[in-house]
């Protein structure tokens, strides 16, 4: 592909906003609705879309996002091309098969295959594969639980930790951004404050006196 | 929808708030004139967010008018109508209609039956305009009801059941470049709304013996943390998809809703509970 920054006419240091502005300007010009039947415009639009996706996808969850239709499937786990979902010796053949399915984004089949493993044989790798498949199906609660399980069963494995980090990434990014909206009240800090106050007042009122309130 | 997808009061400038309000007025006006006066039963700020989101993405042009309306007959105020307004009005009617149908079936609610009568005409119109989308809403809500009736314990399945409906609604063009991102946004936002509704109604559902997806979770010591976790994950997905979109128009308002406004009800509930607990512990 051509240099996506050149296609959009922005510098490689351009901010998200600049990239988006450039995209919108070009899209107005080359959109098929504005150029019906124009093959050249259609081709340009494809390049512009691809360039946008290449730049903006890189800036969200480290390349995991696949919204552009170039990775297909919606949700961040559309494409597990990165991450070494490779095979390890001692891999149960069901887990092997599941990881294969996952590489081709066939998450439902992967989950099906994993069901064949009896509970007593569910090792860290099984939980890892299951977490990947569930993430692909947008079963985020289960995926996170299973990734945590894999990490706790084998804390030294970097793949498992990596997966858990990626699963937590959107929440972490979101919470950081949310924190900049200072109108929101933090219930945890209120709770701590109130608990502290009630503890102190209980200690002070040991003698059974009724202070004030 | 449930009144969760809104702006926190005072969160944006007066100018921005007026614009937000104008889209809401435009929606109300469209419901009344396009679908009949009783359809404005379904009016909400939640769907106003979707209107502004789609308008920001597709920028198909806005019509502005100064109108008077029944609840506010004395003053003229601004209304903005865009291409997404009619679509979202229809989607909201369809959502409300099918939700009421399910309420009638499951809870035999008399109120719901009455409300349905009012919405019949409006729904017929919505369905003639967007048959595929209405069918998808019907299927989705049916599926959700089935899961709830079976006492489903799989919280992901329940969340996604409602989330997928929102995903369908928000992805206006099913197959354009931004459909996957819009679907992901809808999935996260819809899931959050489903969780918030369950969280808010938990005590009432327990009292009335109604299904609540948080029943199992509620038995844990870390219930509040877990609920917060899940809702943050859902908004995290929603926000990530949102930031992928090349939005410029009204982006401040939209961000304020996504990152802050959606938590307003949650914060109110938490503060009230802490206050109640503190009162009890001091007695």
Does residue B44 contact residue B34 with C-beta atoms inside 8 Å? no
Does residue A167 contact residue A143 with C-beta atoms inside 8 Å? yes
Task: Dump the DSSP string for A144-176.
Answer: HHHHHHHHHH-TT-HHHHHHHHHHHHHHHHHHH
CATH number at residue A38: 1.10.287.110
> Does A99 reside within a domain?
yes
Chain B (4-63) residues lying within 8 Å, Cβ to Cβ, of chain A? 8, 10-11, 59
Summarised one tens digit per residue, pLDDT across range B147-185 is 999 999 999 999 999 999 999 999 999 888 899 999 999
Number of domains in chain A: 2
Q: Is A108 on the interface with B (CB under 8 A)?
A: no
* A44/A108 same-domain check: no
* A106/A54 same-domain check: no
Categorize the per-residue pLDDT at A132 as very low, low, confident or very high, splitting at 50, 70 and 90.
very high
Q: Which of A52, A73, A187 lies at the smallest CB-CB distance from B274?
A: A187
> Does A152 reside within a domain?
yes
Chain B (118-137) residues lying within 8 Å, Cβ to Cβ, of chain A? none
Question: In this predicted complex, what is the ipTM?
Answer: 0.93
* Cβ separation A17–B248 shorter than 8 A: yes
Q: Which of A170, A180, A198 lies at the smallest CB-CB distance from B278?
A: A198
Residue B161's nearest CA partner among B135, B127, B136, B131 is B136
**Looking at residues A179-197, what average pLDDT do you find?**
55
**Helix-helix angle B251-259:B14-35, to 10 degrees:** 90
Summarised one tens digit per residue, pLDDT across range A147-166 is 999 999 999 999 999 999 99
* Cβ separation A67–B256 shorter than 8 A: no
Residue B266's nearest CA partner among B200, B203, B205 is B200
* A52/A105 same-domain check: no
> Does A75 reside within a domain?
no
* Cβ separation B237–A191 shorter than 8 A: no
* A101/A174 same-domain check: yes
Q: Is B152 on the interface with A (CB under 8 A)?
A: no
Q: How far apart are CA A116 and CA B250, in angstroms?
A: 51
The whole-angstrom distance between residue A175's C-alpha and the CA centroid of its chain comes to: 14
> Does A143 reside within a domain?
yes
Strands (E), A46-159: none
Q: How far apart are CA B95 and CA B166, in angstroms?
A: 10
Q: How far apart are CA A128 and CA A148, in angstroms?
A: 9
Q: Is A49 on the interface with B (CB under 8 A)?
A: yes
Angle, vertex CA B212, rays to CA B220 and CA B181, nearest 5: 95
A168, pLDDT greater than 90:
yes
**Looking at residues A63-73, what average pLDDT do you find?**
41
Tokens at residue A90, please? 């001692």
Identify the bridge partners of residue B82 per DSSP, sorted by sequence position. Answer: B62
**Helix-helix angle B223-244:B179-200, to 10 degrees:** 160
Q: Which of B237, B243, B260 lies at the smallest CB-CB distance from A181?
A: B260
Look up the domain containing A50 and give its range: 4-59
CATH number at residue A106: 1.25.40.10
> Percentage of chain B with pLDDT > 70?
99
> Does A146 reside within a domain?
yes
Categorize the per-residue pLDDT at B280 as very low, low, confident or very high, splitting at 50, 70 and 90.
confident
Residue B234's nearest CA partner among B156, B169, B180, B178 is B156
Summarised one tens digit per residue, pLDDT across range B202-258 is 999 999 999 999 999 999 999 999 999 999 999 999 999 999 999 999 999 999 999
pLDDT of residue B196: 97
pLDDT of residue A91: 62
Beta-carbon contacts of B58 under 8 Å, excluding residues fewer than 6 positions away, are B83, B84, B172
Q: Which of A24, A69, A174 lies at the smallest CB-CB distance from B177?
A: A69
Which phi and psi angles does B5 have, rounded to 5°?
A: -90, 80
Summarised one tens digit per residue, pLDDT across range B106-150 is 777 788 888 888 889 999 999 999 999 999 999 999 999 999 999
* A105/A174 same-domain check: yes
pLDDT of residue B76: 86
* A103/A41 same-domain check: no
* A122/A171 same-domain check: yes
- CA nearest to B167 within chain A: A74
Contacts of A20 in chain B (CB under 8 A): 246-248
> Does A170 reside within a domain?
yes
> Does A212 reside within a domain?
no
Beta-carbon contacts of B85 under 8 Å, excluding residues fewer than 6 positions away, are B23, B26, B27, B30, B51
> Does A17 reside within a domain?
yes
Q: Is A67 on the interface with B (CB under 8 A)?
A: yes
Q: Is A148 on the interface with B (CB under 8 A)?
A: no
């Amino acid at each position: 592909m051509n240099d996506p920054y050149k296609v959009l006419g922005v510098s490689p240091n351009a901010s998200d906003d600049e990239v988006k502005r450039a995209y919108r300007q070009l899209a107005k010009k080359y959109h098929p609705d504005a150029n019906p039947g124009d093959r050249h415009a259609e081709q340009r639009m494809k390049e512009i879309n691809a360039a946008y996706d290449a730049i903006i996808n890189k800036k969200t969850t480290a390349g995991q996002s696949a919204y552009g239709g170039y990775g297909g499937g919606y949700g961040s786990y559309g494409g597990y091309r990165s991450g070494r979902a490779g095979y390890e010796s001692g891999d149960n053949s069901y887990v092997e098969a599941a990881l294969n399915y996952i590489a081709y984004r066939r998450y439902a089949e992967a989950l099906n295959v994993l069901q064949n493993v009896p509970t007593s044989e569910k090792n860290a790798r099984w939980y890892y594969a299951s977490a990947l498949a569930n993430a692909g199906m947008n079963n985020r609660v289960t995926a996170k639980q299973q990734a945590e399980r894999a990490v706790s069963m084998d804390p030294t494995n970097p793949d498992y930790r990596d997966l858990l980090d990626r699963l937590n990434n959107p929440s972490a990014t979101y919470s950081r951004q949310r924190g900049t909206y200072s109108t929101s009240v933090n219930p945890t800090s209120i709770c701590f404050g109130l608990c502290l106050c009630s503890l102190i007042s209980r200690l002070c009122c040991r003698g059974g006196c009724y202070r004030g309130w | 929808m449930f009144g969760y997808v809104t702006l926190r009061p005072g969160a944006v400038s007066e100018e921005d708030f007026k614009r937000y309000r104008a889209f809401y007025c435009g929606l109300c006006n469209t419901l009344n004139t396009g679908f009949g006066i009783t359809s404005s039963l379904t009016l909400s700020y939640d769907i106003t967010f979707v209107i502004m989101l789609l308008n920001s993405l597709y920028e198909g042009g806005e019509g502005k008018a100064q109108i008077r309306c029944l609840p506010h007959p004395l003053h003229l105020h601004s209304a903005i109508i865009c291409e997404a307004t009619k679509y979202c009005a229809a989607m909201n009617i369809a959502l409300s209609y099918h939700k009421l149908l399910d309420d009638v079936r499951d809870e035999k609610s008399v109120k719901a039956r009455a409300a349905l009568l009012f919405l019949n005409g409006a729904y017929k119109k919505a369905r003639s305009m967007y048959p595929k989308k209405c069918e998808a809403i019907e299927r989705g809500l049916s599926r959700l009801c089935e899961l709830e009736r079976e006492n489903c314990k799989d919280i992901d399945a329940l969340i996604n059941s409602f989330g997928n409906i929102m995903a369908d609604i928000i992805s206006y063009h099913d197959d354009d470049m931004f459909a996957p991102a819009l679907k992901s946004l809808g999935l996260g936002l819809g899931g959050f709304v489903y969780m918030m509704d369950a969280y808010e109604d938990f005590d009432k559902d327990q009292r009335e013996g109604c299904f609540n997806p948080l029943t199992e979770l509620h038995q844990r010591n870390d219930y509040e943390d877990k609920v917060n976790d899940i809702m943050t994950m859902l908004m995290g997905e929603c926000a990530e998809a949102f930031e992928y979109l090349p939005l410029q128009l009204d982006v401040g308002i939209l961000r304020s809703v996504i990152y802050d406004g959606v938590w307003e009800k949650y914060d109110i509930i938490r503060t009230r509970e802490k206050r109640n607990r503190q009162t009890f512990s001091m007695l």
